[in-house]
Structure 1
């Protein structure tokens, strides 16, 4: 029987060790030596914290196709590096202006704004270098598909574009449906990419990839909706960062639109939608099922 706590903890340990090994001067150097300060800032923004949920999704999706966890790890590390870069940049004064992340000073507070920008830039860049390495997958065609998938999830039509829409919405408000589009891009696109990358590593056919994509899109909506609920209900201590900022900024979310009870009902329905998408995979998809349920029940 699948045990979410055991699997997620094992994945988090593997990701922590993998990032610690990769984010070093010797590994990041070429053609010149990597600058010590930027490497230290990259490590500050990536290590010692986080639930590592996106690498877990890569691992769980790949497991459906009997891919060993260690074979899915390099792609998971690449996704996590993209996620960590986005957090470093989101915390900057020009964006969300946060002082705490995972209970520690944000990178721009621990170092400075310029170093934080460069650390994020480097994490973004090296994520794709890692995907290009033969150790990520023996087949170059698969590596190219992974690079493309992650770029689409992280780029102007994905995470970055969603952040831009969020900024625009803060200034001008959202019309009907625009909140969902923004959140599907800002948060959901990288979750979608994680699941699809695991499926690509596993050699999924078009039908399986379509079903997993439907799961991922629903799971991404559930994750963001749970995040919006926690911004209202959780303490800063539980979250390891400031809470209540959406309301303070007058930001439109589904919680502000529907109220807490309405948002929780939509969350339950969204999780059920994710689970329904997995109906053809049997017990091999129990990991993905558990993660969707965790998204809805998490406390931080």
Structure 2
């Protein structure tokens, strides 16, 4: 099976390249060959890669900057994602598209289900929701995976930021009134490979649509930070005290959902795969990055 993933630099693309198995060839394509701001590049790039399944992972992810660049965010996350899905449809292959918890406003009391009403509170979330709609419209054979709080040994993310700050600080203030499911991109890659194998061997698969895919268990940002730094300290790496603060004490240009918790029960039921406890996955990443 040949899995073609859009974007070379993202956490999920890097994780897929690392996790690829002997029976799965993972090919990452990105700029300049495939540029989501230049729709004319998409079909040619995917045709040349000859995928069995396309993983649409490339995205505009600068949440705060998106407030100042709404047209660019929508060009990449909505129009670009739709073009990828349409190109996959032309090639007769399914698309697995990555989306986000930011399609919700975060006001629900409890984990979000796939059937809950969407209500993005910022440009980034709105652009990703428009991307979901474009993907679903362009290719009926789609699996849209909403995930949250993604971290990994690759790129820029919360876990690596905490370790960097702890290298020269004794105390780090971290928001304590936003809750979610920390999700390792390595686990996302494993889930995608598992789902892709099912789609590839089962031509009668019919459960297309939206799924939530996040780490098992929940915490707040400060709890996540404490586990990262306690694990690092235990390994002889950087560590620091974490001081709880409110989101209002750390103002950002774009509002964040207070509740980013996602129920992954549907994905587990359909595909028979569930992410490990977020603490175990965090420890695995910290072991690779803290020392």
The normalised TM-score by structure 2 is 0.36
Higher strand share goes to which structure?
2
Higher helix share: 1
TM-score computed with the length of structure 1 as normaliser? 0.35
